[in-house]
Amino acid sequence: MKANAFAFMGGTFDPIHNGHLRTALELQHWLGVDQLCLIPSKTPVHRATPGRTSEQRLEMVKLAVADEPSLCADDREISSEQPSYSFLTLQGLRSELGDQCPIFMIMGMDSYMTLPSWYEWDKFTDYCHIVVVKRPGYDLPAEGEIKEFTDEHKAQNLEQAMALPAGKVLFHELTPLGISATQIRETIAQGLSPRYLFPDGVWQYIQDNRLYGLTN
């Protein structure tokens, strides 16, 4: 049975790659939702501004999911007047979807570990559940703020979270792909082919628009 819930994954997607796409597809299936939305951020708040425009990063996400009905590209952060704070996105989603709809925010372990530096992070669970996926090379710290937050909110299982609109943290193991956008940017900068790390359509777009320092 399809779950009546909203699931999304935010990120810089500079560029989107198969680590994002496999994670999104496996989570869409595990959660049992019709679609999982990828929401590229406008001005990355937690990092230096990337050299690509927001529109170009969004365009690459759109190209990557164009032939996959289970995934969608959502422009709410890029089209918004507000800065791309997850907290504001969650508030917007909650008012749009109503009080009862479970909202699942998906992130990799690397992002989850940095959560205490995000704007209003300790209120996220008032608005959504957080699903954390393993990423090669990153493990949950054995102590500290994020460990305490995890202990406080950890769900027993998916059913428990699905019965609530928000409030739980879940961990999900999936096929780990050690791909990062950093690796793709470095591969291109070295003049090597980044093929098979992301969809060919994204690579074509990068070449057509001479992104990531490509000169011909």
Binding site for ligand ATP (CB under 6 A): 9, 11-14, 19-20, 23, 107-108, 110-111, 133, 135, 177, 179-182
Contact 104, 5 (CB under 8 A): yes
First to last CA, the chain: 49
Question: Tokens for 42?
Answer: 């406008």
Residue 10 bridge partners (DSSP): 39
| Smallest distance, ligand ATP to C-beta of residue 1, A | 27
With respect to ligand ATP, which residue has the nearer C-beta, 4 or 46? 46
| Smallest distance, ligand ATP to C-beta of residue 108, A | 2
With respect to ligand ATP, which residue has the nearer C-beta, 166 or 198? 198
With respect to ligand ATP, which residue has the nearer C-beta, 168 or 216? 168
> Rounded to 5, what percent of the chain is helix, strand, coil?
40, 15, 45
CA dihedral (40, 41, 44, 49) positive or negative: positive
With respect to ligand ATP, which residue has the nearer C-beta, 26 or 100? 26
DSSP label of 49 = P
| Smallest distance, ligand ATP to C-beta of residue 135, A | 4
Question: Tokens for 86?
Answer: 């997850």
| Smallest distance, ligand ATP to C-beta of residue 98, A | 26
**Residue 12: how many other CB atoms lie within 10 Å:** 18
**What is the C-alpha separation between 37 and 92, in angstroms, rounded?**
15
DSSP result, 85-99? -HHHHHHHHHHHH-S
| Smallest distance, ligand ATP to C-beta of residue 109, A | 7
Question: Tokens for 154?
Answer: 């950890």
With respect to ligand ATP, which residue has the nearer C-beta, 78 or 179? 179
With respect to ligand ATP, which residue has the nearer C-beta, 107 or 158? 107
CA dihedral 126, 92, 30, 143 (to 10 degrees): -40
| Smallest distance, ligand ATP to C-beta of residue 133, A | 5
